[in-house]
Amino acid sequence: MTTIAPKVDLMVTRKRFMAAAAAGALLLGVSACSQGSTTKQPDAGGAQSSGPAHIKIAYQQWGPGVVMKNFLTGVKSEYESAHPGSQVEIVPVVASENDYYTKIQLMMRSPNTAPDIVYEDTFLINSDITAGYLKPLDDYIGKWDQWNQFEDTAKGAAKGQDGKTYGVPDGTDTRALWYNKQIFAKAGLPADWQPKTWDDVLSAARTIKQKVPGVIPFNMYSGKPMGEASAMQGFEMLLYGTKDTLYNYDQKKWVVGSQGFKDSLNFVKTVFNEGLAPSPKDALSPNMGSKVGTELLPQGKLAIDLDGSWIYGNWLKSGAKPWPQWSTVLGQTAMPTQDGSGKGKVSLSGGWTWAIPAKSKNPDAAWDFIKTLQTQKNAAKYATDGAQIAVRKDVASDATYKSSSASTQFFTDLVSVTVYRPALPEYPKVSNEIITAMEAVMTGQSQPDAAAKNYDQAVEGIVGGKDSTTTKSTGQ
């Protein structure tokens, strides 16, 4: 299984929320532990050095999922057994996505609170490099014989604009439409649903609302509480199905004033105004993503969900909501482009990496732990249990991984049409303005044209004025 190299980043940042006093207070409970011994572990080349070290690993814990917790616990045991006297402290940062980003950025500012390893969303890499939070890993990677197993795409996702590598990726993803075949049957819709345009999606949702009352016809994430899920899984899955984009790579300018942006906001307006989506109150819950995966889909309360390839991880035996029937109850189909033109379908991809903060007290030991995380055996286990698209070639060809899910091949095939967000430091702030525009439209506070105009003005301020913007999009 292969992935295509991103012309843009494999995930640029969501908005970097500045820390308020409340966020700082929450952080204290996460980062109060001491760093322990600073005696070095194996060096960059893997040779043993003087003795045990205490390393701290920070990752996001959100909702009832335990896959990452169980995975890290297993690797911790493996590592500590192989390195007597070493201590691995697993630090779950219990937070929604945007709050997680805020908290780890706060942690990485000081050597007193910086973890030794952090789970870093690839879309944050360039902005966190600019802020001085991350350590380049090139000296380590140059002596690691496993780096050639990683797909070039995945390597590109972990690179900064300076050409250096700042993380080791553990998987990627794609996005599409999940739909409930049983609800479709009740509505008289086909089991093998293949929408060709946005209108086809809306038509199916309207039919479900009319013929199957009591279920939510369509879900797309929208609004500030869902953070980047709103921008990426919601809005950008629409925008990149139009003839417009966020950024013009030929001119090196951000796109404003595009018809595609307005049309995407009009789609948002339609699904919420017509009652095809969850109520704005429910949609604006920060727990909406968890609710979709553990309640609405398994309980047959949601007909169509615009979501990620990973969501079925909730329903595996190791997931938060085991649901053996999911592969027969749910179907998957590509999100169509606006009018069926272009490639006819669209997807967005991203991923996460294991990174070492610049202010880690034990970077050599941290690197050695990352190598343990990313052995073929451990990478295959996480890709399978965590519902990831593999980024190691030897994992992608692993028979157990390939047969682990009925949807693995479908979501892997979408990589051929996938799009990546602009890998630029400004993206997090731009993303926040996308989310603001969505929320204004979904709640009826603003009409699409007015929300788009506000977005344009905000982007000009973020990127340095009109000279840094254009009205012409790049082709896809």
At 123-159, the pLDDT tens digits run: 889 889 999 999 999 999 999 999 999 988 889 889 9
What residues does 392 pair with on adjacent strands?
Answer: 150
Which pLDDT band, with edges at 50, 70 and 90, does 45 fall under? Answer: very low
Per-residue pLDDT tens over the stretch 87-97: 999 999 988 77
**Does the structure show a pLDDT above 80 at 99?**
yes
Q: What is the mean pLDDT of residues 191-196?
A: 98
Q: What is the pTM of this model?
A: 0.80
Query: How many C-beta atoms lie closer than 10 Å to residue 163's C-beta?
Result: 8
Task: Provide the sign of the torsion angle of the four alpha carbons 193, 434, 161, 42, taken in this order.
Answer: negative
Of 302 and 126, the structure prediction assigns the larger pLDDT to 302
Which pLDDT band, with edges at 50, 70 and 90, does 9 fall under? Answer: very low
106 φ, ψ (degrees, to nearest 5) = -60, -45
Per-residue pLDDT tens over the stretch 407-430: 988 998 898 899 988 878 899 899
Residue 44, pLDDT score: 40
**C-beta of residue 414 within 8 angstroms of C-beta of residue 350:** no
Comparing CA positions, the residue from 209, 201, 224, 241 lying closest to residue 441 is 224
Residue 120, pLDDT score: 93
Q: How far is CA 229 from CA 208, 312, 353, 365, 413, in A?
A: 25, 16, 18, 33, 22
Residue 51, pLDDT score: 60
| Mean residue pLDDT across the chain | 88
Residue 231, pLDDT score: 96
Name the percent of the chain lying above pLDDT 90. Answer: 71
**Does the structure show a pLDDT above 90 at 347?**
yes
54-173+350-420 is classed CATH 3.40.50.1370: no
Residue 238, pLDDT score: 98
**Does the structure show a pLDDT above 90 at 443?**
yes
What CATH code would you report for 175-348+422-470?
3.40.190.10
Token couple for 313: 């991880």
CA distance 291 to 308: 14
CA distance 148 to 181: 41
Q: Count Cα neighbours of 316 within 13 Å in the Cβ-side half-sphere.
A: 20
**Does the structure show a pLDDT above 60 at 50?**
no
Of 256 and 161, the structure prediction assigns the larger pLDDT to 256
Q: Which amino acid would we find at residue 282? A: D
**Does the structure show a pLDDT above 70 at 165?**
yes
Query: Hey, where are the domains in the chain?
Result: 54-173+350-420, 175-348+422-470
Per-residue pLDDT tens over the stretch 264-281: 999 999 999 999 999 999
Q: What is the mean pLDDT of residues 98-123?
A: 93
Q: Tell me if 54-173+350-420 shares its fold with 175-348+422-470.
A: yes
Comparing CA positions, the residue from 273, 369, 414 lying closest to residue 56 is 369
Task: Provide the sign of the torsion angle of the four alpha carbons 44, 48, 51, 53, taken in this order.
Answer: positive
